[in-house]
Amino acid sequence: MPHRLRPSVLATAAASLQPSLMPHGPADRGWVATAAAATASLAGVVGGVALRRLSAGRLGGLAAALAGTAVGLLPPPADPIPHRSVVGRGIAWSLAAAGVDLAVFGPAAPGKARPLLRALAAGGVLAGAVGTLRTAATKAERDERTVEPGYGTPPDDPWVSGGPNSAVAFGDLGREGRRFVSERCTADDLAAVTGHAVEPVRVFVGFDSAPNPDDRVALALDDLERLGGFDRSLLVVASPAGSGYVNPVAVDAVEYLTGGDVATVAIGYGLRPSILSLDRIRPGARQFARLLEAIAGRPRRPRVVVYGESLGAFTSQDAFLGDGIDGLLRRGVDRALWVGTPYRSAFRHEVAADPRAGAYPSGSALLDQTDDEVVAHFLDHPEDPVTRFDLSLLTHRPSWLGPPTTRPPRIPDRLRWFPGATFWATAADTVRAADVVPGRFTAWGHDYRADLLPAVAGAYRLPTDHLDEIAAVLPARERARAARIGVGSSG
């Protein structure tokens, strides 16, 4: 069979071309189909070794295909799906793939089959994908340190990190940090909408600002003190995405809703986009926990709320892992808003049944909820691939791809799960969804900008007297931000 196109490989590659959560261009479809085919080929090699040892013929192959498929389609044992279950189902699907090939072509003649070469070829494709990711990570870190023309000058602003009153060097903030502190809403901006305002405070400590988490936390507290952050009535403790990105629309919205009586603080834990920063989750969580503990230890502090989006939601949730909602309260957190939480976040599943945790598909749904007992608010679009992507998609059909009548809204009816193929298609979806282009103002997929004004108002219980006026201003600020940045993306 070495020169024949194997049915398992063809079927997997073809399945990867079906409609997905995000639009796929030709390049995406090409690499997704290649990776899916390589995965099926490797699975067939693994299952084929077992079937050859059993000296299975066509009927044996058919039996293996049927048994492997039956096991593979069993309901998931838990949510999130344990990794050991992924391994077990992977073996079942490997036997199914090899069984299909064997049932169609029969046993290979002695000396003709070359499973080792097939395994090396498939492994080479997958290794190439890993190498590409490493190269992309190196480039991302270099780009994050590059100074953009629109943000090359330290702000002459006494209320932000990197400004004249700050102990943090503007050049060490990274690209996202420099954007964050340079785009603060001024009291004049706010008063034009709300009628009265004070100056909000923005504190950002970059990954390069200090050599270790303890020093970064110390810098953040020092700047909060220097800039008057502890004199505001609300303190937003934000956990950035992997690159240091804090959604500016969320921060703008809180500054308008509070009339500037707010300080926002964030500390970077890496320099790469979230999809390339999975190795930074634990360090980011530990750093976030230290920051909260340091703030909670102060004798005088504002009301504290938490904001996290994408990988920032994951890292900030991990700071409370094992303690549930009580962990937030013990650390002095009044409310939390988590946006686009990645599927694998254990905390998200840990508190799912707690009545003090609420889940919402849109910002307006969050604003409409009236239960004051809810502390943790999770905003997740049903079609957001970041909230769906997981290794288990290789081997398990997820609940959101069940019968069309049971699916969440905005999940395509024609989308079907297929072992191997769905994993790579959703991986491509995740990469594309995280490419949020400045200037656009939508609420779809992993882009939550148009949802954030009602979301922060509802989650943090902020005044809504000027909600319509603020809603008209935020898109204009986003367009101005895009013009200052030029061409780029954040994540």
Q: pLDDT value at position 96?
A: 67
List the one residue out of 361, 235, 412 whose CA is nearest residue 307.
Answer: 235
Q: pLDDT value at position 377?
A: 98
Q: Which two tokens stand for residue 209?
A: 């600002």
DSSP result, 436-447: BPTT----BTTB
List the one residue out of 429, 118, 400, 380 whose CA is nearest residue 275.
Answer: 429
Alpha-carbon distance of 215 to 167, in angstroms, equals 12
Alpha-carbon distance of 343 to 275, in angstroms, equals 13
Three-class DSSP category at 212: coil
List the one residue out of 456, 205, 474 whose CA is nearest residue 306.
Answer: 456
Alpha-carbon distance of 168 to 39, in angstroms, equals 47
DSSP result, 147-181: PPGGG-S----TTBTTSTT-SS-GGGSHHHHHHHH
Cβ count within 10 A of residue 76: 17
Alpha-carbon distance of 161 to 435, in angstroms, equals 26
Q: Are 404 and 386 in contact (CB under 8 A)?
A: no
Cβ count within 10 A of residue 294: 15
Sign of CA dihedral 206, 212, 215, 221: positive
List the one residue out of 79, 24, 6, 129 whose CA is nearest residue 396.
Answer: 79
Q: pLDDT value at position 83?
A: 65
Find all residues with CB under 8 Å of 467, minimum gap 6, and list them: 453, 454, 457
Helix (H) or strand (E) holding 236: strand 234-239
Q: CATH 3.40.50 occupies which residues in the chain?
A: 155-381+448-485
The amino acid sitting at 450 is A
Alpha-carbon distance of 214 to 70, in angstroms, equals 52
Q: Are 346 and 315 in contact (CB under 8 A)?
A: no
Alpha-carbon distance of 114 to 111, in angstroms, equals 8
Alpha-carbon distance of 219 to 209, in angstroms, equals 8
Distances (CA, A) of 178 to 145, 234, 306, 348: 10, 23, 21, 31
Compute the C-alpha angle 350/303/491, nearest 5°. 60
Q: pLDDT value at position 34?
A: 78
- 237 forms bridges with which residues in the sheet? 265, 306
Q: pLDDT value at position 19?
A: 80
Q: What is the pLDDT along the chain (491 residues), one digit of tens a residue?
A: 444 556 667 767 677 778 888 888 888 788 788 777 777 777 666 666 666 666 666 676 667 667 667 766 777 766 667 667 777 776 666 666 666 766 666 665 454 445 555 555 555 655 665 665 566 556 656 666 677 888 989 999 999 999 999 999 999 999 999 999 999 999 999 999 999 999 999 999 999 999 999 999 999 999 999 999 999 999 999 999 988 999 999 999 999 999 999 999 999 998 777 777 778 899 999 999 999 999 999 988 999 999 999 999 999 999 999 999 999 999 999 999 999 999 999 999 999 999 999 999 999 999 998 888 999 999 999 999 999 999 899 888 898 998 888 999 999 888 998 888 898 899 888 888 877 777 778 899 999 999 999 999 999 999 999 999 999 999 999 999 999 988 444 44
Q: Are 210 and 177 in contact (CB under 8 A)?
A: no
**CA 114 centroid distance within chain:** 40
Alpha-carbon distance of 231 to 426, in angstroms, equals 45
Q: pLDDT value at position 286?
A: 97
Per-residue pLDDT of 203-233, as tens digits, reads: 999 999 999 999 999 999 999 999 999 999 9
Alpha-carbon distance of 390 to 82, in angstroms, equals 11
Find all residues with CB under 8 Å of 75, minimum gap 6, and list them: none
CATH node for 155-381+448-485: 3.40.50
Alpha-carbon distance of 372 to 460, in angstroms, equals 10
Residue 70 exposed, middle or buried by CB count within 10 Å (0-12, 13-18, 19+): exposed
Q: Which two tokens stand for residue 398?
A: 């997820």
For residue 379, which phi and psi values (nearest 5 degrees)? -105, 115
Q: What CA dihedral angle connects 65, 69, 70 and 71, to 10 degrees?
A: 110
Helix (H) or strand (E) holding 470: helix 467-485
- Rg over alpha carbons for the chain, rounded to the nearest Å, is 25
Q: pLDDT value at position 113?
A: 47
Alpha-carbon distance of 24 to 429, in angstroms, equals 8
List the one residue out of 490, 491, 485 whose CA is nearest residue 147.
Answer: 485
